[in-house]
Structure 1
Amino acid sequence: MTEAVPSPAPAAASGGSFAPLRRPVFAVLWIATVLGNIGSFMRDVASGWLVTELSPSPAAAALIQTAATLPVFLLAIPAGVLSDILDRRRFLIGVQLLLGAVSLALLLLSRAGALTVELLIALTFAGGVGAALMGPTWQSIVPELVPRADLRSAVALNSLGVNIARAVGPALGGALLAAFGAALTYGADVLSYVFVIAALLWWKRPPPPQDGLQESFASAFRAGLRFARASRELHVVLLRAAVFFAFASAAWALLPLVARQMLGGGAGFYGLLMGAVGAGAIGGAIVMPRLRARLDANGLLLLASLIAAGVLGGLVLAPPQWLAVALLALLGVGWIVALTSLNGVTQSVLPNWVRGRGLAVYLTVFNGAMAAGSLGWGLVAQRVGVPMTLVAAAAGLLLMAAVFHRLRLPPGEADLTPSHHWPEPALADEVAHDRGPVMVQIEYRIGADERADFLAVLRRLSDQRRRDGAYAWGVQEDAADPERVVEWFLVESWAEHLRQHHRVSHADADLQAGLLRFQRGGGRPEVRHFLAL
């Protein structure tokens, strides 16, 4: 069980930042996603501006942002489970139909003059449900579309595509809103979903291999939570993301009020501000390779925090409109730096078998921080005013950046591809997949002088056991023979243990191979499997 196998040859070097676009399926889906996001940003601009016309309350404006992000916080993990166990292409088509129906309802209500704050919040929440279902799945299909060597470039291109849409969508949405009203703006969003659905119908996704170990929703949900609970690297990413987005969310929650009340702008100017964020993000994506050459992920996140705090502080002064546009462009640079850094690290610490669920946990934290932060900053602004709220958010960003910079993000360099180095279990008869729980015991012979070093490595290995499916783990010695050390772990079913065989990675194999040097007399530890009666 602890025998290592040679690692595969390194993947070929990437062909550059835009290499994934040479792959037709990725290129078509990427373009469709950009068009779909442009429509979504146009819808968001219309909704964000309409709420300021329907109610002057800062809390109402903040509730729109909360309604958009709260469903992702509530549903991202179930959505991640679905993305790992369902046909991702069909699932995405269904979600696009849901989002199109939401925008169609907004179109009809706004055209009839029947849109209220309550209906706007409810439909924004429904759109958030669609976004919650879609997010983990869109990100999970990326490894299917490009080779491993181009994965980081594909992730960066997805972020770039979102920010191209962020640059074009708000500006176009603001222009349409000012010239033709909300109904036409929502209509343009409905049209964007037609392009996305057409691209998904064109993509002929090969059926996934069937190995008889297909997970049910409940078991996949539990497996995803076990992985998230046991992955210390993921914990660091989630904490750093939650802190940054909770404070940076003030910019999004209060921007409609900043544009209208502090800067004296109209709908077109608000769209211009949102477009400036996207334009800045495009510029940030272009300079990211140079920034990565000088800073690691921790330095990049610190830089993003300093930029965001500086922009919030600059807006407090109610600058001229042209300077406000420049500040929002700078915010876009900081935003793409933070998003790309955190998303890239998250992708790098997740193996493929749990990628959808792991990304869903990340999106849950991201959107939970955005939703709670937006609501909190809106309530604070209602009491102390928008300028003082911006000051508080900027000060908080600076303080948290200084405090948490010492909590280093993981490098994400481990090879998490399956190693398939565990031998098949020895069986007297066939075992039903649903039989369990299963206890696995691994017996080692360890000298007293090497006991402490062995246990240090073994406890690192315990995280891997839990991430891959164990719900309990322990290590014990034989009272009559202290050199006989037994590691054990419990798995909920025989099928889940067989899945462990497919999940163990090359990085895990290297760690397990390190245990062999402690084994007295060489050879492999003895492995036994026990089934509950």
Structure 2
Amino acid sequence: MSSAVAPLRYGSFRILWIANVLSAVGTFIQSVAGSWLMLDLTGSNTWVGLMVASSTLPLLFLALAAGALADMFDRTRLMLVAQAIMGGSAAAMSVLTIAGLITPPLLLALGLLLGVGVALNLPTWQALLPELVPRGMIASAVALQSAAFNAARAVGPAVGGAILAAFGAGAGFGVNALTYIFVIVAVVMVGRTLRLPEREQTSFSTAVALGVRFARFTPMFRRLLALVALFAVFSAVIQAVLPNHTRSLGGGELEYGILLGAMGVGALVAAWFREKFLDRFPDRPARITITGFGISGIVVALAPSIAVGVAGMLVSGFFWVLTLTGLNATAQLISPSWIRGRAMSLYSLSFGGILPIGSILAGVVADASSTGTAMLILSSLAVLLGLSSPVFGVPSVRNVEPPEFSEDRPAPIHDHTVSGEEVVVLNVWQINRDDLAEFSRVMNEVRLVRLRTGAYRWQLMRTAADPLRIVEFFEIGSWEEHLAQHRRIDDTSAALLARARSFDRDGGPTTRHLIGIDPTNPGLFEELIRQHEDLHRQDGSIPDFDQD
């Protein structure tokens, strides 16, 4: 079986993939119906841009919270809740439109409600994906998911345009509502067979904060998010102003569906030929794909006819999927499983959450000038982004080295915990003067490890009496969280900590753990401390235990 479709050998992935194809067709039918209905109701590019943005705008506010929930609870159950929200919103749009009760604010409000479901579903589904296929097939699975979405893009808009012309927008919304039933059935079937890993027990606020710190203190992931966000801003114009641009080219509902469908066809071709593209351009493919997308957007902007616009949309879909498939798979592979839900929620936020801003910006620019001018300006900026993309230092998906965990280091779960009490860790080195510069460099990398795995404050200090006696200081929210921190140390980080240990001239730094005490309930910690020492022996992370 070709590597492009190899993930379909796995039953759980195959079931969900088929259901998502059907649901995605409904999504594009809904998109055509919603955009065109809003245009009919208002005649405003800005209102249409808001409607296009409504399905993803809630990601700006809910993505990280949804990612935290995806790491804390059963992901299949969260998907069921999300599908129910989206299906209910689409059904309400259908009923109100057919009854003649829909208004622009009400249509936009229901679009935002559907977006709440999208915000909950998207990071949950992306975090679930690596549990459906082997890690080596993640990139192919992401590409297949893009293929499903873009096969729907090829079919859905054309079908949506036909339904819109024949039966009206209400029928389009109703068809979309029905497609969510397929996903609900598929999730129930898969949920019965999956063996999902144990989730870390932590508070919601701690989980959210840790997600932010992971992104902040993982430089490659942070740079990837920045690149994705900028691409979202500059690429949104293609779809945001396409309804009015279609009219400027002399087309109507059917031609609008054909233009969107052409983008879907190009995307489908890209998903199939992704491996061959990477064989031809193995290093920094984002430079080619983002630049190519921008150039194709310029072609659509300057198109003198529908036929030329279709050609431009075809090419834009091709480069669109190559860009997003590569960046999405890279984000998946960079992120360890313990925080993947939050990591992918930040990815979703950086693209899907920022995309509405690009849509609104495109609508405002188009109202102030023309749709062609808006496409020309923002697509030119996409070209500049593509040419400068190597500055971001995001590797090709084939060059990513995923975090490895050679041992299973589960964070112990206890009937009693040191709930809410902070922990301070002090590691003390006595180093040689000649090692100071290299030691400082290594400890700067250690700082990133501490802060992305649970610490919320870190500092390196020296004693006043002896400048070569160096103290590492970091704080964690609770003892339970510090125990969980050990599970999060991958093999590369463990090797870095071992390297840091080697600088102590007495054979290893000494360590003190200071645990906050609640005066009303001081508690006993002997068992927790014993388990903590066992974890240190497993992962090799700094030290000789609590010496005074």
Alignment TM-score > 0.5, same fold: yes
1:29 aligns with 2:29: no
CA gap 1:489/1:372 in 2 versus in 1, 3 angstroms: same
What is the distance in 2 between the residues matched to 1:175 and 1:229? Answer: 47
CA distances 1:95-153 after superposition (whole Å, capped 9, x unpaired): 11111111111111121122222222111111111111100000011111112222222
1:153 aligns with 2:140: yes
SS in 1 for 2:27: helix
Amino acid at match of 1:24: G
What's the counterpart of residue 157 of structure 2? 170
Amino acid at match of 2:310: V
CA distances 1:450-501 after superposition (whole Å, capped 9, x unpaired): 1111110111111011000001111223344444322221101111101101
CA distances 1:306-336 after superposition (whole Å, capped 9, x unpaired): 2222222222333322221121111101110
Q: 2:124 aligns with which of 120, 137, 150?
A: 137
What's the counterpart of residue 281 of structure 2? 295
Amino acid at match of 1:103: A
What's the counterpart of residue 122 of structure 1? 109
Which deviates more, 460-469 or 174-183? 174-183
CA gap 1:403/1:375 in 2 versus in 1, 3 angstroms: same
Q: 1:278 aligns with which of 264, 282, 285?
A: 264
CA gap 1:439/1:245 in 2 versus in 1, 3 angstroms: same
CA gap 1:97/1:422 in 2 versus in 1, 3 angstroms: closer
1:532 aligns with 2:485: no
Structure 1 runs of 4+ with >6 Å offset: 421-425
CA distances 1:188-225 after superposition (whole Å, capped 9, x unpaired): 212211111111111215464558x5122122112212
Q: Is the Cα contact below 8 Å between 2:237 and 2:375 reproduced in 1?
A: yes
Which deviates more, 481-490 or 96-105? 481-490
SS in 1 for 2:241: helix
Amino acid at match of 2:305: P
What is the distance in 2 between the residues matched to 1:488 and 1:163? Answer: 50
Which deviates more, 374-383 or 183-192? 183-192
Q: 1 or 2 for the larger relative contact order (CA 8 Å, sep ≥6)?
A: 1
What's the counterpart of residue 227 of structure 1? 214
CA RMSD, Structure 1 to Structure 2 (Å):
2.4
Q: Is the Cα contact below 8 Å between 1:297 and 1:341 reproduced in 2?
A: no
| Cα offset, 1:66, TM superposition | 2.1
SS in 1 for 2:273: helix
What's the counterpart of residue 504 of structure 1? 489
Q: 2:177 aligns with which of 153, 172, 190?
A: 190
SS in 2 for 1:527: strand
Which deviates more, 200-209 or 385-394? 200-209
CA distances 1:325-381 after superposition (whole Å, capped 9, x unpaired): 121111101110111121122112211111111111111121232111111111111
What's the counterpart of residue 455 of structure 1? 440
| Cα offset, 1:163, TM superposition | 1.2
What's the counterpart of residue 46 of structure 1? 33
Amino acid at match of 1:292: L
What's the counterpart of residue 4 of structure 2? 17
What is the distance in 1 between the residues matched to 2:194 and 2:380? Answer: 51
What is the distance in 2 between the residues matched to 1:32 and 1:251? Answer: 27
What's the counterpart of residue 413 of structure 1? 400
SS in 2 for 1:528: strand
| 1:421-436 paired onto structure 2 within 5 Å | 432-436=417-421
CA distances 1:32-56 after superposition (whole Å, capped 9, x unpaired): 1111111111111111111222222
Q: Is the Cα contact below 8 Å between 1:415 and 1:505 reproduced in 2?
A: no
What's the counterpart of residue 429 of structure 2? 444
Q: Is the Cα contact below 8 Å between 2:289 and 2:386 reproduced in 1?
A: no
Q: Which runs of 5+ in 2 are unaligned?
A: 518-548
Instruction: Report the count of equivalent residues.
Output: 513
What's the counterpart of residue 353 of structure 1? 338
What's the counterpart of residue 81 of structure 1? 68
SS in 1 for 2:156: helix
SS in 2 for 1:185: helix
SS in 2 for 1:325: helix
